[in-house]
Amino acid sequence: MASVYHIDPDDEDLSFPDPCKVETIYDGIIAVGGDVKPQRLIYAYSLGIFPWYDESVHPILWYFPDARPLLFPSKMKISKSFRRVLRNAKYQVTFDTAFRDVLNHCATIPRKGEEGTWLNEDLRNSFSILHILGYAHSVEVWMDEQLVGGLYGLAIGGAFFGESMFSFKSNASKIALKAISDVLNKRGYDFIDCQVTTSHLLSLGAVEIPKQEFCDILDKALKNKIDDVGSWSNLKWEYSDGK
């Protein structure tokens, strides 16, 4: 029986158990406790571990699922109907121009079957710092100069850890995902970590990867020396059927 690893919130040591060598407990939980300071988040994500917990739950829960949904940037599935949406010139896509707005919308948009938010103020503040440091990035989708969809995530090496997305207009978050997929593919990234499997993500081309295979893929991605730390606000994306 696997035992849960406890992190003392007052302990400055950032250590986690090696998730590739130990068993997780119920539903992929590998550790509890600690904090969500920027340096701990960077270290956790570099191990493939991420926090996900209800804001009313203490301590913090850290996850490493046995099956990991990955979206390989060049393999996102595009339906004929979505291709028509992508050809629509009524939207604009930007990067890193409204990071905190994207965070706030991801935290507060109502989601079916969910109450409260796991993206609490502590996490938002830490991701905002990581954005300033050039590790966390957002994609914004605009229509009529209004922010109608987007997503954010964390880039480390050749891995992009997708965190959350939101949509106020049909297909807006899917446009953001297509944009980031194209940009990451062009820049040489290995994968987008989708963290939690959903039928929607699978329909877009995400693939569930077993634990040990994911460990190998992650190790390779972290050795991918992409010099990409910094703002992505100068990135440009326009959909083309040739991409």
In this structure, the answer to whether residues 139 and 157 fall within a common structural domain is: yes
**pLDDT of 112 strictly over 70:** no
Give the residue numbers spanning the domain of 132.
Answer: 69-222
* pTM of the model as a whole: 0.93
Q: Read off the CATH number of the domain in which 124 is found.
A: 3.40.630.70
Nearest one of 24, 165, 33 to 103, comparing CA atoms: 165
Distance CA 25, CA 65 (A): 10
In this structure, the answer to whether residues 142 and 106 fall within a common structural domain is: yes
Per the structure, the count of domains in the chain is 2
Distance CA 208, CA 67 (A): 6
In this structure, the answer to whether residues 128 and 217 fall within a common structural domain is: yes
Q: Read off the CATH number of the domain in which 35 is found.
A: 3.30.70.3550
Per-position DSSP letters for 104-138, written without gaps between them: HHHHHS--TT--S-SS-HHHHHHHHHHHHTTSEEE
pLDDT digits (tens, 9 = 90+) for 29-81: 999 988 999 999 999 999 999 998 776 666 889 999 999 999 999 999 999 99
Q: For residue 77, tell me if it sits in a domain.
A: yes
Q: For residue 151, tell me if it sits in a domain.
A: yes
In this structure, the answer to whether residues 98 and 218 fall within a common structural domain is: yes
Q: For residue 93, tell me if it sits in a domain.
A: yes
